[in-house]
């Protein structure tokens, strides 16, 4: 059985949002069309407390998009985004969320970010999604969403490492592309055995 995993199609990642990904909203109709054909649909939702440690605003003399060292490794600092319960954290209004059987929220612990839908940024703390998919007998995943070079790539690489058969539909993703991060993400995904469609 297969599942469509829709990563972070939220207002703050769309044009006009706090961490807008160029053209982030343009993928919504294509994702809705794919949902109709999917055996199962899972949505992920970036979901941060207002004082989350990935926000540049929480660090003295740091600007958004800078890099700092956290106890779990390097971390890009972001503008405040996807604050729990805010409009920015809501799904894009045109996304057909009624199709989803599971919504997995991530990044809700103040001290650690979670790009991947499977593990937090320490690459160890599970979100629970692996267990959900396995207990439903799902072994094949198609991933779409935002942003290609961060949450989609991290999720796809983790899924491949866990043994899932993973395809990323690049036409239904959009990237932030910070200092060449899109090229790196594509190479890393291909190397991990992710099919780029």
Instruction: Classify 171 as helix, strand or coil.
Output: strand
46 part of the interface to Zn ion, by CB under 5 A: yes
Q: Which is nearer to Zn ion, 21 or 156 (CB)?
A: 21
Inter-residue contact 160 to 188 (CB < 8 Å): no
Catalytic-residue membership of 60: no
- The span from the CA of 53 to the CA of 95, in Å, is 28
CB of 52 to Zn ion, least distance (A): 7
- The span from the CA of 163 to the CA of 130, in Å, is 10
Query: One symbol per residue from 52 to 81: x for binding Zn ion (CB under 5 A), - otherwise; what is it?
Result: ------------------------------
CB of 46 to Zn ion, least distance (A): 4
Catalytic-residue membership of 82: no
Token pair in block for residue 3: 């599942």
Catalytic-residue membership of 173: no
Which of 14, 82, 151, 173 is catalytic? The answer is 151
Q: Which is nearer to Zn ion, 99 or 109 (CB)?
A: 109
Residue listed under structure tokens 């490492």: 161
12 part of the interface to Zn ion, by CB under 5 A: no
| H helix and E strand count, the chain | 4, 8
Map the footprint of Zn ion across residues 106-135, applying CB under 5 A.
107
Strands (E), the chain: 2-7, 41-46, 67-70, 73-76, 102-106, 140-146, 165-174, 195-196
CB of 55 to Zn ion, least distance (A): 9
Which of 8, 12, 25, 149 is catalytic? The answer is 8
CB of 129 to Zn ion, least distance (A): 16
Which of 12, 14, 106, 173 is catalytic? The answer is 106
Residue 194 Cα distances to 2, 13, 151, 171, 188, angstroms? 15, 24, 14, 15, 9
Q: Which is nearer to Zn ion, 17 or 107 (CB)?
A: 107
Name the strands in the sheet holding 195-196, side by side, starting at the edge strand that comes first in the sequence. 102-106, 41-46, 2-7, 140-146, 165-174, 195-196
CB of 59 to Zn ion, least distance (A): 15
Q: Which is nearer to Zn ion, 88 or 107 (CB)?
A: 107
Catalytic residue annotation: 8, 106, 151
Contacting residues toward Zn ion, per CB under 5 A:
46, 107
């Amino acid at each position: 059985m297969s599942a469509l995993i829709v990563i972070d199609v939220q207002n703050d990642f769309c044009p006009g949002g706090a961490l807008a990904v160029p053209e982030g909203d343009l993928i919504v109709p294509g994702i809705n069309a794919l949902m109709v054909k999917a055996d199962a649909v899972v949505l992920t939702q970036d979901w941060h407390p207002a004082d989350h440690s990935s926000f540049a605003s929480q660090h003295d003399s740091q600007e958004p998009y800078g890099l700092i060292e956290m106890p779990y490794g390097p971390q890009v600092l972001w503008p405040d985004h996807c604050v729990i319960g805010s409009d920015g954290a809501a799904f894009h209004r045109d996304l057909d969320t009624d199709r989803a059987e599971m919504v997995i929220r991530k990044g809700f612990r103040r001290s650690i970010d979670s790009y991947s839908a499977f593990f937090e940024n320490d690459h160890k703390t599970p979100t629970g999604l692996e267990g959900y998919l396995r207990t439903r007998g799902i072994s094949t995943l198609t991933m779409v969403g935002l942003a290609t070079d961060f949450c989609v790539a991290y999720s796809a690489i983790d899924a491949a490492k866990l043994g899932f058969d993973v395809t990323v539909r690049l036409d239904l993703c959009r990237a932030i592309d910070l200092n060449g991060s899109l090229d790196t993400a594509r190479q890393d995904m291909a190397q991990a055995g992710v099919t780029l469609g």
